[in-house]
Structure 1
Amino acid sequence: MVLSPPSSKAIYEMGMETIASDTACYPAKLVHGHIKWLVDNGEQWIFYPCLNYERNEDPSAPNHYNCPIVATYPEVIKNNMDDLFQDNLVRFSQPFLPYDNDLRLADVLTKDLKPNHISKEEIMRAVSKARKEQIRFKNDIKKQGEYALKYARSHDKKCIVLSGRPYHLDPEINHGIDKLINSFDMVVLTEDSVAHMGILERPIRVLDQWVYHSRLYKAAEFVGTCDDVELIQLNSFGCGLDAVTTDQVEEICRSHNKLYTVLKIDEGSNLGAAKIRIRSLKAAMDEREKNGVKAVTDRKPYERQVFTENMRLKYNILVPQMSPIHFTYLEEAMKACGYNAVLLPPVDKNSVEEGLKYINNDACYPTIVTLGQIISALKSGEYDLDKTAVFMSQTGGGCRASNYVALLRKALKDLGMEQVPVVSFNTVGLEKNPGFKITPQMGMRLAVGVVYGDLIMRVLYATRPYEKVPGTCQAILDKWHDKIVRNVIHFNKRDYYANLKGITEDFDRVERTGEKKPKVGVVGEILVKYHPNANNNIVDIIESEGGEAVVLDLLDFFLYGMYSKKFNYERLSGSYKQMWVNKLGIIAVEWLRKPLRKALRESEHFDEPSHIEEAAEAASQIISIGNQCGEGWLLTGEMVELIHSGVENVVCLQPFACLPNHVTGKGMMKAIRKMNPKANIAAIDYDPGASDVNQLNRIKLMMATAHKNMIETK
């Protein structure tokens, strides 16, 4: 076994030219240099596995994910350093492994290492020994933490828990902050050396589903029991997940009457500001000791406002906007199920401003937009706050979007609106409310509404750029609205088939200008992709620049989650039951899609959507189906599908610091361009601080290239 040398600026600079996303965190960027060093030093096989899950260290936590970058960054390396590997005949292996299940791990490794002629028995012995050594090492870390604490107290020294993620132990990444703390005559402890001494009363406000985070929270609890220990949290620039952890760690510290310090670090090594912060912390600790300030040790578990059966009849439930075309019908479906659903109006600048005021600004743009929209509505005076609830979806996946609910609850507390229940819409058992249940009837109505929305979006965007008489498409939408709503509420198979056929035929008959325009695919993070106000009306911009926008179906996002369970069963630690339940779900969705497909196939101007299996096959040409965080492999699959179908122009929309999209969006563009040199792809970041002019200019440049390419291919 050969290891690359310790991290350094020189190592970082070695791999700079292969970095796909300049907004990825410094630890991710450093990986490129380490891989380059290994290749330059003649290594012929580099083993760098993908690990979606860590070992489950805390069974009381809802899940045990890895950070999305830690989990899947090998895919970026494979697709952005491939020329280097080919030129040097290097075999690069990046299998997805079930690291949280030793038996499955041994099985998968046996298959993957078969070319190396390693027997299953050898692998099982190796896995067993490695796990025992890991546990021994972890226990040793705990003992060292206890010893360091005992030493500090016997020598009358104060302690700092320097908390963060495992890679923050790297001196190049932490820039020697541990030694800086030592220079103030304080003992440094790591979070994993003391976490076992912290008793975390659950539930906590956030959805605690990442192993690294669980350690942080327990370490903060431990600090809360000590008068002579404080906590400093290291936060890498661009780490989207730490928008969740920093708030929660601070809450735990404050609840114990403790100080909280966070230091944001990146490739810059100037520690002047950090030194001032640490000196101030030391002075504050001394002052608190002098004044007899003590830790408070009676923190209670977080109690959320539950949505009761009685509330269901009396409360308005605010539903944040995500896709205006689809949610028009979904609002009616919710009302038909007995809920007073109120679809919030489109997002405006005030919504963004409210989000920035009350939501951690390191949260992604969709978080700030969505929660800002809700806060703006609650502050408007239009709703009785004692009879209002908020509806939020939760997937339970590794993306930070599953913590929208937690971030909103913090904002409501800060606003003095804690009485407003936040109702989680999820199908994975994250939270339950007596007053809200997802019934088969609700599921059917919502699915039908999404099918209608997908059809309308598909035919509208394919027709409006060519309509000879402006306003024709809008008139057709208005004509069908009430019929669609009636069918969503009172489903009738005959009417459903007739409506889908009739809508398609009406748009097919629209008188067209006859001109040819470049098609532009729109892919990316789900909210930014579908919400016009979140993407600064990108569809309108594409049409005004003489193009036709192609936005693939919302339903595919749900099918992607269902289809992934097959991979999880075959390659990871997923269950057979989960796989089959989701397979049946795909069959049910395709039954609903069947008349839509038929209507589109028989039309003159429209194409039917691909099957999810085809999207997975397209993605698999470049990336593994194991990429399941956020939009995951679906994002890559959509780009490949679009280009294969002749839509060679693609805009990839992503929130700043969206960790999954560093991998499956920006991280895959080089490979896609290699597959099709004519691929015209533009990555556009969305953030409250992003320049609208810069976004517009990037789109205009992409459109100019699209027009040029279309002329050249005539």
Structure 2
Amino acid sequence: MPLLSIFKKKTAEGGGLNKDRSHIKVGIPKVLNVWSTHRFWIGFLKALGIPAKNIIFSSDTSEDQYREFGKGRIGMDSCYPVKCMAGHIGELLTTKRLDIILVPMIYSLPSFLKGHVMDTLSCTRVPMGVENIKAGFLKEENEFEKIGVRFVNPFVSFGEPHLLPKQLYESLKDALDVTYEEVERAVREGLEELRKFDQKMRKKTREILEWCAQNNRPCILILARPYHMDPGIGHEIDAEFQSLGYPVVWGQYLPTDEDLMDWLFGADVEAGIIKSPFDISDVWTSSYSSNTNEIIWGAKFASRFPWITAVVRLSSYECGMDQPTYTPTQKIVEFSGTLYFKFGDLDETKPSGSVKIRVETIDYYVKKYSPQIIERKLKRLEGRKVPEGFVKTMVYFY
């Protein structure tokens, strides 16, 4: 082992002072699976001594962002969520005074379905897109070196968290002058921050669903990939429903409390149809993709939960991972009598007029059929113990 490495290792083990990194500014493009892992990166970098104010995310996706900062940087034909990464990286490079641009190549994702599915991989275009778009900033001259910014793109496997310290140390040891022990500790901090955030979001979703139950009001579930929360990719379709007074929840943050799982899935577990409430093998055997798995599970949840009376599916143009799931998701939802609507092939152009018309149409059907849907689903759950907070107290009044 080189002498310098031994010195660094002994210093860390001996509890020596960490390097002062309070001046370092790190930019992270707010794209793709960063939407579901951003709290990890904040916790991880803070644990390495980088202040929160120096962890800078790019702005929401927009056509102007791509035209100004990303044009000519793409060397492949892919879905829009991958292409728009060029605009995010260009914006960070051009408008922020940064030391590092951190663009993780996320191979696998953290998932509450881990252990119940085959794997929790991300789409292959996600990690590979980083290298492709990076090349767009190198083809004429090295845009990063010209400005004095270091581009770091660690290959990370959240599905196998024991690999994260090694993966991140190898990528960041020179850029941040860190020891392995520092990275190992920072990974623990990052994962804990991500866990707490996930827990908080699921708790908030449960509160919304409890309100719907107590007031006997319909709720709309959005089934999509995490990056559809970006207004420039999801086109704020969720906000359109909220403006009409509907509570809207996202499939990524559905509650997974034991009492609720037993109410909704207990009968199927007892009948031997599934091994656990998180088993999707009865409807989806090719369970390798993390986001796909969670979309399928979200459809199963929606088909059972009485006050989710409508599911809205969002999908981007040319999303090869989504296409095989359209029919199974629709069948799962509609088999229970729940309303199902799809906004497919969303791209960078917002068809505001057609979106508004479709939302108004969906509003009509939700108002018309929700009372019957709620009562029908409640009847199916008769005999199961109703979780605290989900007892209906008001008559449906739409």
TM value normalised by structure 1: 0.39
| Aligned: 1:113 with 2:172 | yes
The percent identity for this pair of structures is 24
Match of 2:159 among 100, 111, 114: 100
Shift of 1:73: 1.6
2:57 matched to 1:3? yes
Pair 1:66 & 2:148 matched: no
Question: Matches of 2:170 and 2:245 in 1, distance apart?
Answer: 52
Aligned equivalent of 1:266: 347
What is the Cα deviation at residue 291 of structure 1? Answer: 5.3
Aligned partners of 2:153 and 2:171 also within 8 Å: no
* Aligned amino acid, residue 169 of structure 2: T
Structure 1: distance between partners of 2:93 and 2:150 = 10
CA–CA separation in structure 2 for the residues paired with 1:290 and 1:111: 56
Q: Gaps (5+ residues) in structure 1?
A: 299-714
**Measured at CA, do residues 153 and 271 of structure 1 come closer, stay the same or move farther in structure 2, by a change above 3 Å?**
farther
Secondary structure in 1 matching 2:201: helix
**Is 1:38 matched up with 2:120?**
no
1:296-320 Cα shifts (integer Å, max 9, x gaps)? 969xxxxxxxxxxxxxxxxxxxxxx
Query: How far did 1:53 drift?
Result: 1.1
Of structures 1 and 2, the larger Rg is shown by 1
Q: Secondary structure at the match of 1:232?
A: strand
What residue number does 1:279 align with?
A: 360
Assess if the C-alpha contact under 8 Å between 1:224 and 1:297 holds in 2: no
Q: In 1, Cα distance between the equivalents of 2:158 and 2:240?
A: 35
Counting only pairs closer than 5 Å after superposition, residues 324-473 of structure 1 correspond to structure 2 as none
- Residues 291 and 159 (structure 1), Cα distance of their counterparts in 2 relative to 1, 3 Å cut: closer
1:141 to 1:290, Cα distance in 2 relative to 1, 3 A: closer
- DSSP-derived class of the 1:186 partner: coil
* 3-state SS of 1:132 partner: helix
Q: TM-score, normalised by structure 2?
A: 0.69
8 Å CA contact 2:101–2:150 kept in 1: the answer is yes
Following superposition of structure 1 onto structure 2, how do residues 630-649 of structure 1 map, counting pairs within 5 Å? none
2:108 corresponds to which letter in structure 1?
A: Y
**Is the 2:222–2:311 Cα contact (8 Å) retained in structure 1?**
yes
Distance 1:266 1:201 in 2: 29
Residue equivalent to 1:190: 250
**CA RMSD, aligned part only?**
2.3
CA drift at 1:175: 1.5
Q: Give the drift of 1:64.
A: 1.0
Cα deviations across residues 478-517 of structure 1 (Å, max 9, x unaligned)?
xxxxxxxxxxxxxxxxxxxxxxxxxxxxxxxxxxxxxxxx
Tell me by how many angstroms 1:195 deviates: 6.0
The residue type paired with residue 222 of structure 2 is: L
The code of the aligned residue for 1:30 comes to C
Which string of whole-angstrom CA distances, capped at 9 and with x for unpartnered residues, describes residues 509-532 of structure 1?
xxxxxxxxxxxxxxxxxxxxxxxx
- One of 59, 73, 79 as aligned partner of 1:25: 79
In the alignment, what sits opposite 1:151? 211
Task: Specify which of 240, 249, 261 is matched with residue 329 of structure 2.
Answer: 249
The answer as to 2:248 corresponding to 1:169 is no
Contact 2:152/2:171 (<8 A) preserved: no
1:49 matched to 2:104: yes
Residue pair 1:63, 1:209 contacting (<8 A) in 2 also: yes
Please tell me whether the aligned partners of residues 11 and 34 of structure 1 are also in contact (alpha carbons under 8 angstroms): yes
Change (3 A) 1:56 1:162: closer
Structure 1 residue matching 2:329: 3-state secondary structure: helix
Counterpart position of 1:233: 313
Work out whether 1:223 is the aligned partner of 2:302.
Answer: yes
For structure 2, the residue ranges without an aligned partner over 5 or more in a row are: 1-54, 265-276, 382-398
Q: Counterpart of 1:77?
A: 133
Structure 2 counterpart SS, 1:235: strand
Retained in 1: the 8 A contact 2:219–2:247?
A: yes
**How has the CA–CA distance of structure 1 residues 155 and 275 changed in structure 2, closer, same or farther, with 3 Å as cutoff?**
farther
Superposition deviation, residue 289 in structure 1: 3.9
Question: SS in structure 1 opposite 2:342?
Answer: strand
Distance, in Å, in 2 between the alignment partners of 1:241 and 1:109 is 27
Deviation at 1:257, TM superposition (A): 2.3
Q: Give the direction of change, closer, same or farther, for the CA distance of 1:56–1:183 in structure 2 (3 Å limit).
A: closer
Contact (CA 8 Å) 2:65, 2:87: kept in 1 or not? yes
Within 1, Cα distance between the matches of 2:240 and 2:167? 44
Describe the superposition over 1:437-475 as per-residue Cα deviations: whole angstroms up to 9, x where unpaired. Answer: xxxxxxxxxxxxxxxxxxxxxxxxxxxxxxxxxxxxxxx
> Paired residue for 2:286?
207
Cα offset for 1:105? Answer: 1.4
Distance 1:107 1:193 in 2: 29
Aligned length: 297
Q: Which has the higher contact order (CA 8 A, sep 6+)?
A: 2
Given residue 234 of structure 2, which amino acid in structure 1 is its aligned partner?
N
Aligned with residue 294 of structure 1, among 376, 379, 386: 376
What SS class does the counterpart of residue 261 from structure 1 fall into? strand
Q: Conserved in 2, the CA contact under 8 Å of 1:195 and 1:215?
A: no
The secondary structure found in structure 2 opposite 1:51 is strand
Rounded Cα–Cα distance in structure 2 between residues aligned with 1:291 and 1:46: 52
Question: Which has more helix, going by share of residues?
Answer: 1
> Residues 275 and 228 from structure 1, CA distance in 2 versus in 1: closer, same or farther, beyond 3 angstroms?
farther
Give the residue type in structure 2 aligned to 1:254.
Answer: E
Give the corresponding residue for 2:30. none
Kindly report which structure 2 residues correspond to 1:591-602, keeping only aligned pairs within 5 A, or say none: none
